[in-house]
Structure 1
């Protein structure tokens, strides 16, 4: 479905940068935090398992927030909900800086996630409002690439901030980042959804979820992006302990290993942005899910065959698997949103990204329950996620074929 008067990419560089910054709320809020988990545990006197579960708390809060922000923005408009959400994020981040217990940290992290969710989902809906399908896939890839550049340096920055200024300095940085984003939304970002294109009531907006969930092709796209994302969060939750405890790497070395996988995402999304118009989003999705399944299968096979995967094959396998997540997210969400009119774009983006983070949180929770000293649990969950992502991709092919025959 074509957009009304789609905007050319060449005239939208500043807008794309702002949207990339908004999408970065989630990754930055998680990735900068990872190297500080041990320091937080020691400072607050909390249990290590409880501190690991703050990642899960954040993911579930992020997922819940996006579930509501998407359809609400279809009714009230994009800009006002962005301003409300970022303000909530700022308040919560301020609370985290002064937290003195693990329970307080959990509560503020949950509120922080609920606020930051607005930025992540509404930025994607704005792309659907303003750009045509193939341009949307390209722009989402560009946004993801810019986000990954920030994410690439965030664990490294987080590790050094923790080392020299303590873990609270990470959240001071996030407070400043959110403040800049709020100012950009106030003074630069314009409303992208005109009144005539909005849903007539909140109830109708929320009912859009029923319509979307009945669309097998849309759910196939959402399943593909969500399951690979869930596999990535199994890695995010487990990797600090797998690398630092099992393989004995330092916190600084872990930050660089984490950055290597972000570099993989950047390479793939650059390829996607350059060739998506030629190859097409659907073929990119087939390629991404196939390579993710291949790498996950090989890692589990090597782990079982040798009685434990060695360091280099693990790094290479994760490089391939994590690399696929960015282009799958961009192409799947572009394809899913293209199936629905503008007044349902927020709901489509909300459901897609909500399930993405919700399943990521669920897999993170499962992995966090294991006191692991080996990569076994992480790799098993990554393989399960890859299989389900591949099966979801097959559903999009079946549905697309059926639609073409009708």
Structure 2
């Protein structure tokens, strides 16, 4: 791709970036049905088996923070290829693991590799397109990636029946190989040498200091991160709330889960249609307002019991539907605000989303019992903080970014 011009969105590149960004969700969701079998295989407790999921989330967050600045210093392509290669090697090691401790370590390394694909998919979209097109591309990437959480648990369950839990890692290895080959052949270098500072990689990491001094960065992290946290709360709580409290069958729970995945896909599709006309900032404002109102509605229904199950289902549809819209537009606006450190901006945003999501899932888990009250309070708080982030972004958006005199605003 020529460095001097930016192309219109390329459908094949979007599909590839979506597949790369799906490494993390697939390695998480495809693996969930296997947790009881892993515990039984190694003769350990369910908590010990669940530690393999915790180590993956930790590695994923660290990987995102690591790869952003490194790619700003050395280019997107080599860092992306190295990250996916690590994902492949670690997946093979997970497949061959001989103890729960070994699997915990290998899952951490697998997540380090997956983090490269997640953060660099955003950075590559930013490098290769103008602001409105970048937001469209990120929404399209999210549209492709969102298919993963819908299908992965079903695929993982079937693989468990076919060949046991190790088969899941065989499939993840093959998926990683397909991704690295496609990336080698099709993903261009979008960060030209003249913009890099490979001799000053520590300065790239120092960009985090500048980012965290900027109130707009905090606004976007709150806005996009708390919307993501509300979705994590839904994912963590609804298996107990729906199945155990409202007595929804596991088969029907899958339909409810799929309904919200359809909501995310619809939101991302609408974003691709309107971002060029309205702009990223306007859509952040609209989507965060919807998120806040819908979250407070869910909180009210959960705490009071009004409307029963269906009132919660309807409210959650709108809470979850705007998550992709906020993720795409908040990330795009941040990366264009810091054009010389787009990788670091994408990384700090993605890692914050993941961290806030994990924190919300822990918070809802602290509520006793299986009633929807804990889910309602947690989602309500997330919705209010999402809107607080929106207020910060709108208030400070005209202020120049620290150290980025030539920053571009979307």
In structure 2, relative to structure 1, the CA distance for the partners of 1:301 and 1:240 (3 Å cut) is same
Q: Distance in 2 between matches of 1:52 and 1:170?
A: 16
Partner of 1:239: 238
Q: Distance in 2 between matches of 1:117 and 1:24?
A: 10
Q: 1:380 aligns with which of 374, 377, 382?
A: 377
Alpha-carbon deviations, 1:20-62, whole Å to 9, x = none? 1111122222222334444444444443344445444322221
Structure 2 matches for 1:287-366, cutoff 5 A?
A: 287-306=286-305, 310-341=308-339, 343-366=340-363
The alpha-carbon deviation at position 379 of structure 1 amounts to 2.9
Partner of 1:223: 222
The alpha-carbon deviation at position 317 of structure 1 amounts to 2.1
Q: Distance in 1 between matches of 2:35 and 2:251?
A: 13
Structure 2 matches for 1:89-100, cutoff 5 A?
A: 89-99=87-97
Kept after mapping to 1: 8 A contact 2:90/2:106 = yes
The alpha-carbon deviation at position 329 of structure 1 amounts to 0.4
Q: Distance in 2 between matches of 1:321 and 1:57?
A: 28
Q: 1:107 aligns with which of 105, 108, 114?
A: 105
The alpha-carbon deviation at position 402 of structure 1 amounts to 5.6
Matched, 1:121 2:129: no
Alpha-carbon deviations, 1:43-89, whole Å to 9, x = none? 44443344445444322221111111100111111111112211221
Farther off after superposition, 135-144 or 357-366: 357-366
Q: 1:175 aligns with which of 173, 176, 191?
A: 173
Partner of 1:60: 58
Kept after mapping to 1: 8 A contact 2:90/2:107 = yes
In structure 2, relative to structure 1, the CA distance for the partners of 1:382 and 1:172 (3 Å cut) is farther
Q: Distance in 2 between matches of 1:372 and 1:94?
A: 39
Kept after mapping to 1: 8 A contact 2:303/2:372 = no
Q: 1:399 aligns with which of 385, 396, 399?
A: 396
The alpha-carbon deviation at position 142 of structure 1 amounts to 0.8
Count of residue pairs the alignment pairs up: 399
Kept after mapping to 1: 8 A contact 2:83/2:113 = yes
Partner of 2:405: none
Partner of 1:80: 78
In structure 2, relative to structure 1, the CA distance for the partners of 1:314 and 1:56 (3 Å cut) is farther
- Unmatched tracts of structure 2, length 5 or more: 401-410
Kept after mapping to 2: 8 A contact 1:70/1:350 = yes
Q: Distance in 2 between matches of 1:315 and 1:100?
A: 42
The alpha-carbon deviation at position 399 of structure 1 amounts to 0.3
Secondary structure at the counterpart of residue 193 of structure 1? coil
The alpha-carbon deviation at position 247 of structure 1 amounts to 3.7
The alpha-carbon deviation at position 159 of structure 1 amounts to 2.9
Secondary structure at the counterpart of residue 111 of structure 1? helix
Kept after mapping to 1: 8 A contact 2:123/2:343 = yes
The normalised TM-score by structure 1 is 0.90
Q: Distance in 2 between matches of 1:25 and 1:204?
A: 29
The alpha-carbon deviation at position 102 of structure 1 amounts to 4.0
Matched, 1:266 2:265: yes
Alpha-carbon deviations, 1:316-368, whole Å to 9, x = none? 22221111111110010001111112x31111111111111122222233445
The normalised TM-score by structure 2 is 0.89
In structure 2, relative to structure 1, the CA distance for the partners of 1:353 and 1:44 (3 Å cut) is same
Partner of 2:14: 16
Secondary structure at the counterpart of residue 9 of structure 1? coil
